[in-house]
Amino acid sequence: MKIFPAIDIKNNKCVRLLKGDFNNQTIYDQSPFEQAIQYNKFGLTNLHIIDLDGALTGELINLETIKKIIKELKINVEVGGGIRSLKNIDTYVNLGVDKVILGSAAIKNPSFLKEACEKFDGKIALGLDTKKGLIAVSGWKESTNITAENFLEEVNEFGFSRLIHTDIERDGTKTKPNINESLKLAKISKAPLIISGGIATIDDVKKIKTLKEFNIEGVIVGKAIFDGDIELNELSEIVSA
């Protein structure tokens, strides 16, 4: 199983949002690069980065920070946040990003998702972020009436290589992941699924590891690491086991 420690970047700082609320954020002392170094030291070779400035502006605001992490640490990075053009995807791919996450832009314009998958084979991850099963977009500020299952069935043949499901109401809360909802999507998805949102303890991670046969590729862990509820050596042991 792949474990993706999360780094959300805003104003070149590591931050964590509560349920995606930009008005409810915790700012941490470590720089994104310093945090990535710590993950790398413990043999965690996959990293989930969200450019929150990019999510707000549609520009690649933290490109140099992400470039430094990839170049100096040789780590597999999936990155998202306001990626709305093929040009921006191309920039990230040329930078060495492993997966480029398309969320709002893909939901609002499925043909963009399809074109991206065709042009950047094996490099596109689809992010489905939900509240009570319905997709939310635009930095989670805008709700839709589209269920994750219905949208997935519409785009399932497009060829994205990873699906990331985040339960927004659990993100940053450490109230346990919504495994049941993620499994519903995993059973449909042509691509392996990453579970995100609500991880509280190492037992949550261990439980998800038992789900590999259900098309679950891995898990994203964020606030529980920053708050010390999960130690990096615990995650390292799971990865190496």
Report pLDDT for 176: 95
CATH number at residue 140: 3.20.20.70
Contact 114, 160 (CB under 8 A): no
Per-residue pLDDT band for 126 (boundaries 50, 70, 90) equals very high
- Would you state the structure tokens that stand for residue 5, as one six-digit string? 């420690």
> Cα–Cα distance between 15 and 28 in angstroms, integer?
6
- Rg, C-alpha atoms of the chain: 16
Please check the confidence at residue 139 and state whether its pLDDT lies above 90.
no
Per-residue pLDDT band for 198 (boundaries 50, 70, 90) equals very high
> Cα–Cα distance between 223 and 197 in angstroms, integer?
9
> Cα–Cα distance between 63 and 163 in angstroms, integer?
23
Per-residue pLDDT band for 25 (boundaries 50, 70, 90) equals confident
Region 87-113: mean pLDDT is 97
> Cα–Cα distance between 27 and 41 in angstroms, integer?
22
Please check the confidence at residue 93 and state whether its pLDDT lies above 90.
yes
pTM: 0.95
How many domains in the chain? 1
| Domain carrying residue 100 | 2-240
Report pLDDT for 30: 86
Per-residue pLDDT band for 26 (boundaries 50, 70, 90) equals confident
- Would you state the structure tokens that stand for residue 166, as one six-digit string? 């985040």
Which residues does the annotation mark as catalytic?
8, 129
Average pLDDT value over all residues in the chain = 93
- Would you state the structure tokens that stand for residue 127, as one six-digit string? 């992010």
Buried b (16+ CB within 10 A) or exposed e, 78-114: bbbbbbbeeebbebbbebebbbbbbbbbbbeeeebbb
The strand pairing partners of 164, in sequence order, are 127, 194
